[in-house]
Amino acid sequence: MSFLLNCLTNTKHPLSKPITQPAISIQLLSMQKSLVSITDYSKEEMLRILDYAAEFEKNPNQHILDGKVVATLFFEPSTRTRLSFETAVNRLGGRIIGFSDASTSSSSKGETLKDTIKMVSNYADLIVMRHPLEGAARYASEVAKVPVINAGDGSNQHPTQTLLDLYSIRKTQERLTDLNIYMVGDLKYGRTVHSLLMAMAHFKPTFHFIAPDELKMPNEYKQFCDEQNIPYFEHKELNENINEADILYMTRVQRERFTDLMEYEKVKNVYTLKSKMLENTRNNLRILHPLPRVTEIDYDVDDSEKAYYFDQAQNGLYVRQAVISCSLGLL
Amino acid sequence: MSKTENKQVKIVAAIKDGTVIDRIPSDKLFKVASILHIEELSNQITVGNNLESQELGTKGIIKVSDKFFSDKDINKIALIAPNAKLNVIRDYVVVEKKTLKLPSVLEDIVKCGNPNCITNHEPMMTRFHVEDNHTLTLRCQYCERVMSGDEVKIL
Ligand SMILES: [Zn+2]
């Protein structure tokens, strides 16, 4: 209750909405929680994060994390994600502790994940972690005294990536509902496309899956679409069948996924987006990619106004500012 | 229980106190025996297999004297032979008939089939959510993978 009062009376509070609408503040108390998997958030919670992210985009420098310590525990290196989270904390005035590589952490001395998390949750108000093993963040959220934000657990989840994808889609299309979402490349192992599919399911999408046989969208997700009455179409080739797309979500086709390397060589070039393929596409089409890219988008696409992947990465900052603040119960 | 089955049960001697696990599909009998670790028990045990069964064609049966299995063990049987019947016997009388039923959550009963799952690397309990009772579809609480009953190892 004292928190709520604080939220309502704090005139320096950067975001006007919760101050004027106490009902929302009460709901928001429930968002003081970990974010491990995108399904941990309801549709309403996701939308609220996107609204806050839009506020942070207008004004990214705010002192709402004054006096807070955020631990960034990177049990495997991921410079891109770590810098984005740490920038988010810094721009909100918080402090950072942590490590960027497991070889410098106590886990290299054989300490269990549980012990590391227990120790860190004595020091920090929030843990942001990346780990090579699937389920590590869920387990950490169960043993930690403080909220945990999953910044990637093996090939399982990376929910802030999904939220920044949603943010980018909403920002470029000015809506989330009734969109034609085309997913291209590695749809079998690509965790970003699976999470995006689950998140977009709330917004009446039509999906098109473009992938080689080896990397097709798993049945589990197609079944999910059937259950939710979400139409989807499968294609093997990336060509003029993208003309109806609103969003083209490109992913990396990784060499190590192929048992037959000849097949990889063949497929690699078939799934490269070239600027001439965009000639008859919709004006509102935007191309997204979780980055880093290798060969799947030609450099000549970068100059197209439909290329959005660099702005998409920047949106990650605002979305992470919103997730961090909500996880700490500060919004 | 049909007449022939009734006779069959009698073929495998009656026990005074203990547990009878009946209607085990013949091809699952030794698997059930192994997950219950009955080879480690010093109790009197009778095992019958390929007995006539109207429902199953043939069936297996396990009787263990003076042994009453925990719910955790019973749940394990449900993973392999969900239609088996478990009777608790006291003084030659069936005092309880237990229908095997998979609980909605399996705690520390099966090992995750995903080698990259945290549960296979940390000293911790596994937790699976039963998504579908009939097809035996399980979802690991940690790595979130969906697997079928045959893809997991019983602990
Ligand atoms: Zn698992």
CA distance A301 to A275: 5
C-alpha distance from A207 to closest chain B C-alpha (Å): 22
C-alpha distance from A331 to closest chain B C-alpha (Å): 28
Whether A204 and A184 map to the same domain: the answer is yes
Q: Are residues A134 and B121, on separate chains, in Cβ contact within 8 Å?
A: no
Whether A254 and A139 map to the same domain: the answer is no
Tell me the whole-structure pTM to 2 decimals: 0.84
Asked if B119 has any chain A CB less than 8 Å from its own CB, the reply is yes
Q: Tell me which chain B residue has its CA closest to the CA of residue A152.
A: B143
Chain A hits for B122, CB-CB cut-off 8 Å, are: 112-114, 139
CA distance A147 to B153: 32
C-alpha distance from B2 to closest chain A C-alpha (Å): 41
Residue A11 in this model has a pLDDT that exceeds 50: no
Q: What is the CATH classification number for the domain harbouring A134? A: 3.40.50.1370
Whether A147 and A245 map to the same domain: the answer is no
**For residue A11, is it within any domain?**
no
Write down the architecture of domain B105-154 according to CATH: Roll (2.30)
Give residue A102's pLDDT band: very low, low, confident or very high (50, 70, 90): confident
Whether A142 and A164 map to the same domain: the answer is no
CATH number of B3-99: 3.30.70.140
Give residue A13's pLDDT band: very low, low, confident or very high (50, 70, 90): very low
Domain boundaries, chain B: 3-99, 105-154
**For residue A83, is it within any domain?**
yes
CA distance B111 to B127: 9
Q: pLDDT higher for A120 or B71?
A: A120
Residue A134 has its nearest CB partner, among B117, B124, B146, at B117
Chain A hits for B114, CB-CB cut-off 8 Å, are: 134
| Contact map slice: A 37-96 vs B, CB within 8 A | 37
Residue B142 has its nearest CB partner, among A112, A135, A155, at A135
Please give the distance, rounded to the nearest whole angstrom, from the Cα atom of residue A230 to the centre of ligand 1. 28
What is the ipTM metric for this complex? 0.85
Which of A48, A68, A82, A130 is catalytic? The answer is A130
Whether A148 and A291 map to the same domain: the answer is no
Q: How much is the pLDDT for B113? A: 93
What DSSP character marks residue B86? E
Whether A304 and A173 map to the same domain: the answer is yes
Whether A57 and A78 map to the same domain: the answer is yes
Give residue A31's pLDDT band: very low, low, confident or very high (50, 70, 90): low
Give residue A5's pLDDT band: very low, low, confident or very high (50, 70, 90): very low
Q: How much is the average pLDDT of A1-7?
A: 35
How do residues A294-307 score in pLDDT, each as one tens digit?
889 999 999 999 99
How do residues B55-110 score in pLDDT, each as one tens digit?
889 999 999 999 999 988 888 888 888 889 999 999 999 999 988 888 899 999 89
Residue B122 has its nearest CB partner, among A37, A114, A220, at A114
**For residue A107, is it within any domain?**
yes
Q: How much is the pLDDT for B6? A: 55
Whether A149 and A196 map to the same domain: the answer is no
Same fold, B3-99 and B105-154: no
**For residue A8, is it within any domain?**
no
Q: How much is the average pLDDT of A264-288?
A: 91
Asked if B142 has any chain A CB less than 8 Å from its own CB, the reply is yes
Q: How much is the pLDDT for B142? A: 97
Please give the distance, rounded to the nearest whole angstrom, from the Cα atom of residue B110 to the centre of ligand 1. 10
Q: How much is the pLDDT for B5? A: 53
Please give the distance, rounded to the nearest whole angstrom, from the Cα atom of residue B107 to the centre of ligand 1. 12
Whether A201 and A171 map to the same domain: the answer is yes
**For residue A14, is it within any domain?**
no
Asked if B115 has any chain A CB less than 8 Å from its own CB, the reply is no
How do residues A34-90 score in pLDDT, each as one tens digit?
999 999 999 999 999 999 999 999 999 999 999 999 999 999 999 999 999 999 999
Whether A152 and A113 map to the same domain: the answer is yes
Q: How much is the pLDDT for A108? A: 67
Chain B hits for A155, CB-CB cut-off 8 Å, are: 116
Share the mean pLDDT of chain B: 88
Determine phi and psi for B108, rounding to 5 degrees: 60, 35
CA distance A107 to A130: 13
Annotation says A13 is catalytic: no
Q: pLDDT higher for A23 or A314?
A: A314
CA distance B135 to B141: 18
Residue A133 in this model has a pLDDT that exceeds 50: yes
| Contact map slice: A 249-308 vs B, CB within 8 A | none
Share the mean pLDDT of chain A: 88
Containing structural domain, residue A321: 20-158+316-327
Q: How much is the average pLDDT of A220-224?
A: 94
Annotation says A130 is catalytic: yes
Q: How many helices (H) and strands (E) does chain B have?
A: 3, 11
CA distance A54 to A290: 20
3-class SS at A151? strand
| Long-range pairs for B127-134: beta carbons < 8 A, 24 or more residues apart | B128/B152, B129/B104, B129/B105, B130/B102, B130/B103, B130/B104, B130/B105, B130/B106, B133/B82, B133/B102
Tell me the one-letter amino acid at A99. F
Q: How much is the pLDDT for B135? A: 84
C-alpha distance from A188 to closest chain B C-alpha (Å): 13
Q: How much is the pLDDT for B71? A: 85
Residue B116 has its nearest CB partner, among A112, A154, A157, at A154
- CB-CB contact of A320 with A313 (8 Å): no
Please give the distance, rounded to the nearest whole angstrom, from the Cα atom of residue B145 to the centre of ligand 1. 6
Q: How much is the pLDDT for B4? A: 54
Stretch among A166-170, B5-9, B30-34, B145-149 having the lowest mean pLDDT: B5-9
CA distance A292 to B54: 62
Give residue A104's pLDDT band: very low, low, confident or very high (50, 70, 90): low
Q: How much is the average pLDDT of A157-180?
A: 97
Whether A289 and A167 map to the same domain: the answer is yes
CA distance A74 to B59: 54
Would you mind telling me the total number of residues written for chain A in this entry?
Answer: 331
**For residue A46, is it within any domain?**
yes
Residue A114 in this model has a pLDDT that exceeds 90: yes
Whether A234 and A282 map to the same domain: the answer is yes
Q: Tell me which chain B residue has its CA closest to the CA of residue A131.
A: B118
Asked if A112 has any chain B CB less than 8 Å from its own CB, the reply is yes
Kindly give the residue spans of alpha helices, DSSP state H, lying in B104-148.
none
C-alpha distance from A121 to closest chain B C-alpha (Å): 18
Q: Which residues of B122-147 are buried (b: 16+ CB within 10 A; e: fewer)?
A: bebebbbebeeeeebbbbbbbbbbbb
